[in-house]
């Protein structure tokens, strides 16, 4: 038994330790002075540099696949752009791997991992379907949404009008909104939300304006209700708003 344990110990101790560091960037932050970030280092155990590189590239390929699927589903994700695999002397071993071998490893893993199917898109589509159905149940219908000039400054305010399409009197509504500037980029609309506590009877309409301290809002692309309180004390809420 002692002999077997000794052999096992020698076998395990033959593995070398490497440090995997992944470099990522955020597309929304790229600009003057921006530098990519590093993920926290991960330890890889492998018998040799070639095996260590293969495991490191597998991690990198998986990160790229997840990033692509996240971007496809949600329209935003940090992007893995490169990686390092460091030996115990903090030397990047990537350049030491034979080019033909490295190219073969990369192509094999890109093909196998790129073809995998993740559940990210399916989960997103399922969530959006639930939200869509919930929207249909909303007791308040947004009739119009637009930016308006502030009378006392160069800032833009936001104007909404809405209708109580339920059969109960409403005593409170919370709104959210999004918008773009003249270039089609997301505008800075502050916290992107407002509320009203004016009473609104069934079938009646109302409107309101909120100061959002925004100079570049050109168009409101989306406005929705995510919480409604009724006079009888009950409440309607939109999950995952």
So what's the pLDDT on residue 134?
A: 72
**What's the mean pLDDT in 167-195?**
87
pLDDT in tens, 47-104: 999 999 999 999 999 999 888 888 877 777 788 999 999 999 999 999 899 999 999 9
Residue 54: which of 15, 93, 27 has the closest Cα? 93
**What's the mean pLDDT in 1-21?**
66
The contacts of residue 232 (CB under 8 Å, 6+ apart) are 168
Cα–chain center distance at 224: 20
* DSSP calls for 74-88: HS---EEEEEEEE-T
So what's the pLDDT on residue 116?
A: 76
Domain 138-237 has CATH 2.60.520: no
Residue 33's pLDDT band (boundaries 50, 70, 90)? low
Residue 219: which of 184, 192, 195 has the closest Cα? 184
Residue 153's pLDDT band (boundaries 50, 70, 90)? confident
> Which has more confidence, 5 or 30?
30
- Residue ranges per structural domain of the chain: 2-127, 138-237
So what's the pLDDT on residue 13?
A: 54
Contact between 21 and 56 under an 8 Å Cβ cutoff? The reply is no
pLDDT in tens, 205-229: 999 999 888 888 888 988 899 999 9
Cα–chain center distance at 218: 24
């Amino acid at each position: 038994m002692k002999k077997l344990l000794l052999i096992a110990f020698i076998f395990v101790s033959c593995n070398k330790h490497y440090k995997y560091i992944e470099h990522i960037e955020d597309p929304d932050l790229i600009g003057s002075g921006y530098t990519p970030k590093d993920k926290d280092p991960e330890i890889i155990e492998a018998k040799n540099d070639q095996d260590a590189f293969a495991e490191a590239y597998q991690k990198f390929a998986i990160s790229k696949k997840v990033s692509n699927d996240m971007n496809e589903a949600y329209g935003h994700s940090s992007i893995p752009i490169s990686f390092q695999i460091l030996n115990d002397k903090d030397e990047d071993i990537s350049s030491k791997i034979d080019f033909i071998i490295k190219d073969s490893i990369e192509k094999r893993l890109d093909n196998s991992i790129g073809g995998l199917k993740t559940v990210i898109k399916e989960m997103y589509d399922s969530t959006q379907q639930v939200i869509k159905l919930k929207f249909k149940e909303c007791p308040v219908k947004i009739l119009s949404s637009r930016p308006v000039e502030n009378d006392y400054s160069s800032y833009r305010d936001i104007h909404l009008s809405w209708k109580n399409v339920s059969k109960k009197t409403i005593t409170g509504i919370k709104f959210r909104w999004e918008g773009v500037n003249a270039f089609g980029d997301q505008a800075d609309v502050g916290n992107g939300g407002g509320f009203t506590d004016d009473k609104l009877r069934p079938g009646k309409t109302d409107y309101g304006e909120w100061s959002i301290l925004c100079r570049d809002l050109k168009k409101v692309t989306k406005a929705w209700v995510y919480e409604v309180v009724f006079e009888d004390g009950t409440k309607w809420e939109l999950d995952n708003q």
